[in-house]
Amino acid sequence: MRSVMSERNNKLALLGGQPAVTGEQKELFHWPIITKRHEEAVLEVLRSGSMSALGVTTEFEEKYAKNLGRKYGLASPNGTASILSGLYGLGVGVGDEVIAPSYTYWASVMQIYNLGATPVFADIDPESLSMDPSDIEHRITPRTKALVVVHLGGYPADMDAIMDIAKRHRIKVLEDCSHAHGALYKGREVGTFGEAAAFSLMSVKSFAIGEGGMLFTDDRRIYERAIMFGHYRKHGKIKLEELKKYIGVPLGGAKNRLNQMSSAIGLVHLEMYPEWMAGIDKAMNYFCDELEGTPGIRPIRPPKGSGSTKGGWYFPLFKYLPEEMEGLSLTRFSDAVKAEGTTCNPGAYSPLHLHPAFTELDIYGHGKPTRIAHYRGDDPDLLLKQTLPVTENMNPFVFEVPWFKHFQKKEIDQHILAYRKVVENHQELLADDDKEKDKEIGSFSSAFSKDDL
Ligand SMILES: Cc1ncc(COP(=O)(O)O)c(C=O)c1O
């Protein structure tokens, strides 16, 4: 490791030294990017008074689907709605089981309840943090209808193995690509593997249009069922006989029309995103390359030369290796790194399967926990007590790093220095280390900001 001693004041900021990161660095993190073209596109919608119409949104759906190489795109006001209507599209219903990760944002999973189905959780791979293919097959029963796969923190899940399992067992796959816009798995874009794929497009995501979600599929039946669920104004598109007689009311009681101002932003984004993404990718890979080999920390990214990439790098994560830091807790490490002026948020997600909404709560008044309200398997109690060793123990070993939006070497170098400085001086942090604090790491949301409160 290159010594930082000579580079600047080496006293840790947490212990009274100068922070490694100076200046505001606003542009490095400014997001989403809104250009004159975005403003004009939104103004056009505003001036036409057509915020609730469909034309701009239809154009956005068609162009996005074409870019991704899928037949159908269906926009909704958020990714949560896209996942719900996507699951309905796949035919998920009462008594079905859906295998999903627990180490994710709740919106990958909660909707399974709305359809009367049961979430069955699978563990994650400790290197990628996405679903572990070797923990899926033994959870499959004759009632398993679908798999929700999340490309967590932009890291593409192992889609060859997952699709192979799904095909052999005739299970449908919904990819949750909310963290992974533009990410590649072995050279192929995520969102093109599963029978359906959903993306969140809200403001903090890498493809950010304000609020919005997209569902993609090549299957006409999935598309039409998703339309029937929450897009009554699109019922004119329905061709399937089995659905035609229900035209007129949304079967999910949902109204999922996307505001056209967001669609207008999305249309401009489609043209600009590849260039933005390349800038993010260059910046993040530079940051990771420079820190690769630094004791105690390791970038989480697909191996070079694998053809897999992290796209827009939403929610970039590193591994923490306390055994290389004399057992220093992640909490203490991250406090010290943050004091240097950069991002270092300990943990990723709190395990959903341990949340009372999944272990005990009767949300809809079934007289038993919603998790098992419609469960048809032999041992509902076993399901409520599910354990997932990797998921449950992951948080003290993973942290979020800064998400650079541009390759600005000079500024990024300061963030690299911040990390190196703390690693080099970690012994000074051992004295006041309270390891118990690592037990509190975790959150059910990665996307809270002060504005939410
Ligand atoms: C993995 C994942 N899935 C789904 C969603 C839901 O998207 P939205 O917030 O647009 O409803 C999010 C949002 O943060 C997410 O992180």
pLDDT in the model for residue 209: 97
Q: If you take atom 8 of ligand 1, which residue's CA is the nearest one? A: 79
- What architecture is domain 36-267? 3-Layer(aba) Sandwich (3.40)
The span from the CA of 354 to the CA of 331, in Å, is 22
DSSP 181-216: TT-EETTEETTSSSSEEEEE--TTSSS--SS-EEEE
Instruction: Name the residue of 200, 205, 258 whose CB sits within 8 Å of the most ligand 1 atoms, as the mutation to test its pocket.
Output: 200
Residues facing 72 on adjacent strands: 217
Ligand 1 centroid–CA 272 distance in Å is 22
- Smallest CA-to-CA distance from 22 within 417, 449, 423 is with 417
Ligand 1 centroid–CA 265 distance in Å is 19
The span from the CA of 453 to the CA of 445, in Å, is 13
3-class DSSP assignment, residue 449: coil
Ligand 1 centroid–CA 244 distance in Å is 31
Ligand 1 centroid–CA 12 distance in Å is 36
Ligand 1 centroid–CA 80 distance in Å is 6
Question: What does the DSSP 8-state code read for residue 355?
Answer: S
Closest atom of ligand 1 to CA, residue 81: 11
Domain segments of the chain: what residues?
A: 36-267
pLDDT in the model for residue 8: 52
Helix/strand number for the chain, H first, E second = 14, 13
- Give the global pTM: 0.96
DSSP E strands: which ranges in 117-156?
118-122, 144-150
Which residues does a 6 A CB cutoff place in the pocket of ligand 1? 78-80, 104-105, 107-108, 150, 176, 178-179, 200, 202, 213, 447
The span from the CA of 91 to the CA of 187, in Å, is 30
Give the angle 332-336-341 at the CA atoms, nearest 5°. 145
Instruction: Name the residue of 110, 202, 449 whose CB sits within 8 Å of the most ligand 1 atoms, as the mutation to test its pocket.
Output: 202
pLDDT in tens, the chain (453 residues): 445 544 457 899 999 999 999 988 889 999 999 999 999 999 999 999 999 999 999 999 999 999 999 999 999 999 999 999 999 999 999 999 999 999 999 999 999 999 999 999 999 999 999 999 999 999 999 999 999 999 999 999 999 999 999 999 999 999 999 999 999 999 999 999 999 999 999 999 999 999 999 999 999 999 999 999 999 999 999 999 999 999 999 999 999 999 999 999 999 999 999 999 999 999 999 999 999 999 999 999 999 999 999 999 999 999 999 999 999 999 999 999 999 999 999 999 999 999 999 999 999 999 999 999 999 999 999 999 999 999 999 999 999 999 999 999 999 999 999 999 999 999 999 999 999 998 889 888 754 454 554
